[in-house]
Each structure stands twice: as structure tokens, then as C-alpha cells.
Amino acid sequence: MKKSITPFVKLLEKTNHETRNHLKTLLPQNTDRKISAAMNYAVLNGGKGLRTFLTIESASLCGAPKSQALQAAAAIECIHAYSLVHDDLPAMDNDDLRRGNPTVHKKWDEATAILVGDGLQSLAFEILTNDSTHPKDQIKLDLINSLARASGVNGMVGGQALDIEAENSKTLLNFADIIELQELKTGALIRWAAEVGPRLTGQNMHPFTQYAKSVGLAFQIQDDILDIIGNTKSAGKTLRKDSKAGKATFVSLLGLEGAKKKARKLIVHACAALDVFGAKANRLHDLANFVINRNF
Ligand code: GRG
């Protein structure tokens, strides 16, 4: 199935290009070194840029300067790229393909992939400490602290650990377990991205948190749907892994139609959470709809 180029996809690609150009200035420049080349590859070689778009739109909705938004977007993308590189390792998901290209440990080697993830994680926090992220230390500290929490043991890492435990257990997860796992594994970073605007400007975080919770779950439901009905070429990664492994997913628990219905309901909730912003939130509505209509 071909990627359909809607006006929203064009905007997403434009924003992705802009963020990646900013990231190019922050990533190691000495790409004749293996580790630097591999870090650049992990971040810049594809990716939809959903988390960076969310960061930039959240900041824009709150009236934060673009330069600050780009710094936060660069930080979240480094954490996201690190998680994918480590997730693809043989000790975790053991994948050869990511974003339609060889995974970092396949293109180089496992030691390089581990170091790329480590290097990107450190870089994310280094980026946030920069004065261009925000003039006030208190705000930079809050961004650093909240990103550390979202990506750590009470966020993404904790969710990944639950996922691995579940794979090695004979008991299948139930619906509440899967929600808990996914809110940590993928939801926590999505939520951080959505909360960047209020964190930079001191505005009410609640609408953004509510929006992100629903979008994060809908994102994961669509991922589970694509694992069943998607096409490896457009997805750019190995599919049907969860079903082959007999893992409990939103689709195995709700059925395909039930999962689609749940995702649509979540998107209605997500958009309603931003009612207070009126038409100014249209781009975040479009993002929410894209999340459940994407085929990649
Ligand atoms: C290794 C600590 C550690 C954590 C890994 C995020 C994650 C936790 C693993 C990724 C496994 C996976 C495929 C999860 C499903 C949701 C997800 C994060 C998909 C990839 O995100 P996209 O679709 O990726 O936004 P792109 O390539 O567009 O950036």
C-alpha cells in the first residue's frame, strides 16, 4: 500500500525536515568515526517525526519560541531513536529492519548499537541543558527531570521491562495490564512531547496530558493493527511478530474491528481535550487522526 500524501502528511514531512536539520547541528560531526556515523544514522535515517511534531505543535499552541521547541524536539527524538536501536538488538526484539533500512547492529555491530543508544540518551539531556532551550534554569531543570522520568524505570524502560517479562511468562496479559504497559512503554514519551508547551510557558498542562494519554494508546492500538494487516514494505519493519509469538495485544483482546473502534473513540476524546483552544488546535487534531489512519 502506498503512503497517501495528504496536506497533513506534507506538513509532518516539512516539520520533520526542519527538526532533523536542527538535529544535524547537534549530533556528532566527526562521522569518519564509526560511533558518530552510527549515531547520525540512527536519528536521521527515516522516521515519521510524530514526537517532534507533537513537541513543536504543543509549544506553538502555548506561544513558546520555535527555537526552544526545536531543542526539546531534538531531545525527545534522541531518546526515541536510542530506544529503537536498543529494542532492535538480539537481546530484545532481534530485528534486522528498521525504517526500511538495516538496524544499527546489522549495519555495524552489537557493541556499536549499545553505544549508539547510550550516546543518544546522554546527548538528549545535554541538549536540554543548553541556554537556547530556555533562559530560566528552573524550566530547563523541569524539562530534564520530566524527560528522565518519562524515559526511565517509571516510564519507557519500565514498560519495556514489563513487556519482556510478559513475553517470558506463560500467563497472557489482560486489557488493564496492556494499558499499563503501553502507557509506560510508548505513552510516556508521547506524553512528554505533548506537555512541552505548558512546561516551557508555565500554562495549564491538563488538556495536553489528557490529549496525549488518548493519542498514546491510539498510537499503540494502530501499531497492533498494522502488525496484523500492515505491509512490511510501507511499515519499514518486520510485521506479524506479536501474533507469531502469541502475545496479547489490543487486537488479540478486542478483535480487529473492536480495536479500530476503540482507537477512533480515543481520538474523539483526544480532540475534545483541546476544545479550550478552538481552531488553534486543528493541527493537533490532524495529528491524532493521522495516528489511527497511518499505514506506516
Ligand atoms: C529499549 C529501553 C528500551 C525501550 C524500547 C519504544 C520501545 C521501547 C520499543 C519499540 C518497539 C516498538 C516497535 C514499539 C511500538 C511503538 C513504537 C515506539 C513504534 C515506533 O515508533 P514510530 O512509529 O517510529 O513513531 P518512527 O520510525 O516513525 O520514528
The string of pLDDT tens digits covering residues 47-80 is 999 999 999 999 999 999 999 999 999 999 999 9
The reply to whether ligand 1 has any atom less than 6 angstroms from the CB of 269 is no
The reply to whether ligand 1 has any atom less than 6 angstroms from the CB of 83 is yes
Rounded to the nearest angstrom, the distance between the alpha carbon of 83 and the centre of ligand 1 is: 7
Spatial separation of the C-alpha atoms in residues 197 and 59, rounded to whole Å: 4
- Mean per-residue pLDDT for 234-241? 75
- Mean per-residue pLDDT for 133-140? 98
- The per-residue pLDDT for 237 is 74
Chain centroid, CA 188 distance in Å: 9
The reply to whether ligand 1 has any atom less than 6 angstroms from the CB of 149 is no
The string of pLDDT tens digits covering residues 15-53 is 999 999 999 999 999 999 999 999 999 999 999 999 999
Of all residues in the chain, the percent with pLDDT exceeding 90 is 88
For the ranges 165-169, 220-224, 242-246, 271-275, which has the lowest average pLDDT?
242-246
Position 178 pLDDT exceeds 80: yes
Rounded to the nearest angstrom, the distance between the alpha carbon of 171 and the centre of ligand 1 is: 24
Rounded to the nearest angstrom, the distance between the alpha carbon of 27 and the centre of ligand 1 is: 20
What would the 3-class secondary structure string for the chain be?
CCCCCCHHHHHHHHHHHHHHHHHHHHCCCCCCCHHHHHHHHHHHCCCCCHHHHHHHHHHHHCCCCHHHHHHHHHHHHHHHHHHHHHHCCCCCCCCCEECCEECHHHHCCHHHHHHHHHHHHHHHHHHHHCCCCCCCHHHHHHHHHHHHHHHCCCCHHHHHHHHHHHHCCCCCCCHHHHHHHHHHHHHHHHHHHHHHHHHHHCCCCHHHHHHHHHHHHHHHHHHHHHHHHCCHHHHCCCCCHHHHCCCCCHHHHHHHHHHHHHHHHHHHHHHHHCHHHHHHHHHHHHHHHHHHHCCC
- The per-residue pLDDT for 3 is 66
In this structure, what C-alpha cell is assigned to residue 273?
481535550
Rounded to the nearest angstrom, the distance between the alpha carbon of 137 and the centre of ligand 1 is: 30
The reply to whether ligand 1 has any atom less than 6 angstroms from the CB of 185 is yes
Rounded to the nearest angstrom, the distance between the alpha carbon of 157 and the centre of ligand 1 is: 12
Residue for grid cell 526484539 = 93
The reply to whether ligand 1 has any atom less than 6 angstroms from the CB of 161 is no
